[in-house]
Structures are given as C-alpha cells and as structure tokens.
Amino acid sequence: MMQRHLILEDGTVFQGLGFGAPATTFGEIIFHTAMTGYQEIITDPIYDGQMIVFAMPVIGAAGIHAEAYESVKPTISGMIVHDLAEVSVNRQRRMNLDRFLKQHNIPGLYQVDTRQLIRHLRETGPQKASIVDYADEHAIDQLVATVLTNKQVQNTATPKPYANPGRGRHIVVIDFGLKHGILRMLGDYDANVSVLPYTTTVEEVLTLDPDGIILSTGPGDPRTLPESVLTLIRVLQSKVPMLGIGLGHELFALANDAELMPLSSEHHGMNHPIQEIISRQIFYAMQGQGYAVDANSINRKKLFVTYRDLVDGAVQGLRHREFPAFSVQFFPDAAPGPLEATTVFADFFETVEDYVEHYNQ
C-alpha cells in the first residue's frame, strides 16, 4: 500500500496508507462515531461529496453485503480509518471494502491517528480536506482554492419518478437524496410507493391521490434548494399526512417559517439520547446532521417540538399544530442504527389510517 496524505484546509497534515482508489479528491471532512454500519454510512447519499473519518478503530471486517446498501452508488469523496480489515470475498462476504471503493473510484486512507484527527476536528468543526499523494504547498494551495459544490441534492436525488409497488397504502416519497432504508421500511408496511423528484408539482402529487407523503433524507444545506420546494410542502401538508426525515425535516421546518442554524459541533453517530418530549422516553437513533432547527425561531402557532437531543438540546422533531404533518431530524429507518426509532414509521402509518378513515366518512 502506498503512503498517502490527508490535508486539511487549516494546514494540518496526516499521513497514512492508501486503499481503495488511488484518486485525489476534495471534500468536506466530518467524523462519525458509529461503531457499526460503515457500509450503510458510506453509501448514504447524505454524505455526498464528504470525507468521513471513522472513530471505530477497525473497519471492513464485516465485508460488504447486498442488503446493506443505502444507495446504488456511493458518492463520498473519501474514507479515513485507523485499521482496514482485510477479508476475502466469498459466499458470505460478497465484496470487501477495498475493492468496493476501487470500483467506485473513492480513495481511502488507513493507519491514520484517527483519534487525534477527531479531537482536532471537534475543535475546528468541519472543513475542506483532500486526500493526496504528496502533501506539498501546491496541494494545500489547491485545496484552499477549491470551491466545493452545493448541488448535492441534484447529484443524488432521482431526476425521474419511479414506483416501488405494494398492496398497502399509497405513499408518495419526495426524493432529496433518498436512502434505501426509507423504502425498506415502507416495504415492511407493504406500502405502494411512488418516488417523485423534488422538482415535482402539487398537481403531480395530488393526481396520484396519495394516502401519505414522505419528505426524504438528503445531503447538504436545504437552503440551497429552490423556494418552490417549500411552497410544495406548504400546500401538501394541509391535504395529506406528511412525514419529513433528515433534510425533509429541515425543509418542513423552513416551509413553516422556522430557521436553521449550524450546529456548534456536527453530530454523526448513534449514541446521543433523544427524548420524546411528550412521554419523556429516551431512545437512540442514527443521526447525521450539520444543521439543526433553531428552537427560538419556531412559530408556536404553527409548529411544536416533539423530540430533543439531550446532549446538545438540538431540536430532533417537529409537528404541525393544525395538520397531520410531522418530522424527525434523526433517521428512523435504522439502516444502520438502533431499531427503537422505527416506531416513527408506525406513528406515520397510524396517522395515515386515521386520515383515510376520517376522509372516508
């Protein structure tokens, strides 16, 4: 394995050995503390264009599995780990991490003092980074000059509608960079799913006569999306039960006049206690967020807070005061992550049933 380098915008350089593709890439670097689910994490479109540092010391030993993809194609810009586990490719493990990254032209770096790197990043916050062969001045200049894309949703969301048929309720998913876990959960309820691009219109959605609408997860800053998305949400939430997840939650908040703020320290992991305010129950879920809804900006006539992160107090869920519409910041699809949070889907489907019943009467 070849010696390669990770350079940060602030000039810090880390040495390691390259794996995956030998490519030179740029991206925003963040750290992840989850100890399971590396495959799901690196294939989750929410990390589009980002470089992920794993706190988990050994990565790769579980292989790559057919049923653990969160998207068809990973679009992270790099992966930094301490120890890369070598495993053979066989019946049980159909693919290994090294080959997988090579196939998708994504570079990885291992034998890095990831604990030092994480302790550094927790102070500086996310910043631009690059995996390069030589950490010279030229490389750093180039990194500083690089402007990272803010078109992550465009990169990852479907441009065309498609269906995932089922025999149950008709659920329209508006795709902002959907992770497969959401479709899997909808499959568990045998939902008849139509996935629409985020550029869809109110008419297109309503023509499909959905029983419920899901605003999907997705990457990046939701404020870069066109205003039409917020209008779409405003109209639809008054007509059909709605669930927003991740980026979908942030958009739901924006559509109802709340504001976003960057988190003082980004949080990517599954160890924070999340409290359901109404019952005081605590549970854990996969979280991946750089922004949070600013609790002070919430118009109490429109929204109220349903879940909170007990570590930093960040808003983790909202509900509309007048409509059967709610949203969660965390990922209730448990792919990866604890199953406790999957009850959000149960709540959604119960709301859908209620709505259908009332509508019929």
Partner 1 sequence: MLNITTNNKIKRVLFIGAGSNDFGREAEHDAAIYQVMPELRGHGVEVFLIDENPYALSLESLAATVFWQPLTVENLKKVVHDNNIDTVAPLFGGKSSLRLWAEVVQSWVHGDGPVPNTLGLTIDMLLKVNNIPALTSLMSDNGLPVINNYVLKAQDEANELLRELQLPLMVRALHPNQTNTRHVVDRLDDFEDAIHLAKLQSITQEVIISRAINGLKEVSLEVLRDFRGNKMQIGASEDMDPIGIHTADSLSVSPILTIQDQLISQMRDYAFRIADLLQLQGVMHVQFAVDDDTHKIYIIKVSPYIDQMATRMSLATGYPTMLVAINLAMGVALEDIVLPHNFGNNTAMMEPMMDHVVVKLPVFPFGELAEAGVQVNRQLNSVQKSIGTTLGFGRTFIEALEKAIRSAHFNNASFSPTNMAHINDDELIQQLIHPQDNRVLLLIEAIKRGYEIDELAELTAIDEFYFHQLQHLHKLEEEIESDIDSIRSLRRGKKYGLSDGLLARFWHTDFNIIRTLAKENDINVTYKAVEPSAGEFPENARQYYATYESENESIQINEASVLVIGSGAFRMGDAASGSYATAIAMSELRRLQYPTIIMNNNPSDATLLPHLADKQYLEPLEISDVMRVVELENPKIIVIPGNRRKLIKALRDLGQQVMVLPKEKHTPNGPNENQSEFALNIFYDGQKIYPINLTQHMAGEIRIVPQVAELLHSISQSRIDNPGVYQIIWYQDTIHWLKNVDSSDIGHNSWLRPMPFGQIAYMTKVMQIPWIRLTVRAALNELSKQDIEMLTTVNQLPIVHQLSMVAADVNYQLHLQPSNVIDGTRFEIGVGVNYYER
Partner 2 sequence: MPNKEVLDNASLQRALTRITYEIIERNKGGQDLVLVGIKTRGEFLAHRIASRLEQLEGVKIPVMAIDITNFRDDVLNREDSLGLNDEEKTNIANKNIVLIDDVLFTGRTIRAALDALIHIGRPNTIALAVLVDRGHRELPIRADFVGKNIPTAQNEKIKVFVQEIDGRDAVEIVH
Binding site for partner 1 (CB under 8 A): 14, 31, 33-37, 39-40, 55-58, 61-62, 65, 67-68, 82-83, 85-88, 90-92, 113-116, 118-119, 122, 265, 269-273, 275, 280-284, 310-311, 334-340
Q: How far is the CB of 325 from partner 2 (least distance, A)?
A: 9
Q: Which does 148 bind (CB under 5 to 8 A by kind): partner 2, partner 1, none?
A: none
**CB nearer to partner 1: pick between 118 and 352:** 118
102: left (phi over 0), alpha (psi -120 to 50) or beta: alpha
Q: How far is the CB of 111 from partner 1 (least distance, A)?
A: 8
Which residues partner with 223 through β-bridges?
Answer: none
**CB nearer to partner 2: pick between 176 and 252:** 252
**CB nearer to partner 1: pick between 233 and 334:** 334
Q: Which does 67 bind (CB under 5 to 8 A by kind): partner 1, partner 2, none?
A: partner 1
Q: How far is the CB of 345 from partner 1 (least distance, A)?
A: 15
Q: Which does 158 bind (CB under 5 to 8 A by kind): partner 1, partner 2, none?
A: none
Rounded to an integer, what distance in angstroms lies between the CA atom of residue 157 and that of residue 84? 31
Rounded to an integer, what distance in angstroms lies between the CA atom of residue 109 and that of residue 44? 19
Which residues partner with 204 through β-bridges?
Answer: none
**CB nearer to partner 2: pick between 26 and 330:** 330
**CB nearer to partner 1: pick between 68 and 295:** 68
**CB nearer to partner 1: pick between 35 and 206:** 35
Written as six digits, the tokens of 156 are 């990852």
Q: Which does 320 bind (CB under 5 to 8 A by kind): partner 2, partner 1, none?
A: partner 2
For helices 343-360 and 180-188, angle between their N-to-C axes, nearest 10 degrees: 60
Q: Which residues bind partner 2 (CB under 8 A)?
A: 276-281, 301, 304, 306, 319-324, 326, 343, 346-347, 350-351, 354, 361
C-beta of residue 233 within 8 angstroms of C-beta of residue 318: no
Q: Which does 323 bind (CB under 5 to 8 A by kind): partner 1, partner 2, none?
A: partner 2
Q: Which does 98 bind (CB under 5 to 8 A by kind): partner 1, partner 2, none?
A: none
Virtual torsion, Cα 175, 181, 186, 189, nearest 10 deg: -170
Range list of H helices, the chain: 38-43, 97-103, 114-124, 137-145, 152-156, 180-188, 202-207, 227-237, 247-255, 343-360
Rounded to an integer, what distance in angstroms lies between the CA atom of residue 297 and that of residue 43? 33
Nearest CA among 144, 112, 146, 148 for reference residue 8? 144
Nearest CA among 218, 47, 27 for reference residue 107? 27
Q: How far is the CB of 284 from partner 2 (least distance, A)?
A: 15
Written as six digits, the tokens of 284 are 């854990």
Rounded to an integer, what distance in angstroms lies between the CA atom of residue 45 and that of residue 179? 6
- In 10 A of CB 24, how many CB atoms? 15
Q: Which does 82 bind (CB under 5 to 8 A by kind): partner 1, partner 2, none?
A: partner 1
**CB nearer to partner 2: pick between 190 and 350:** 350
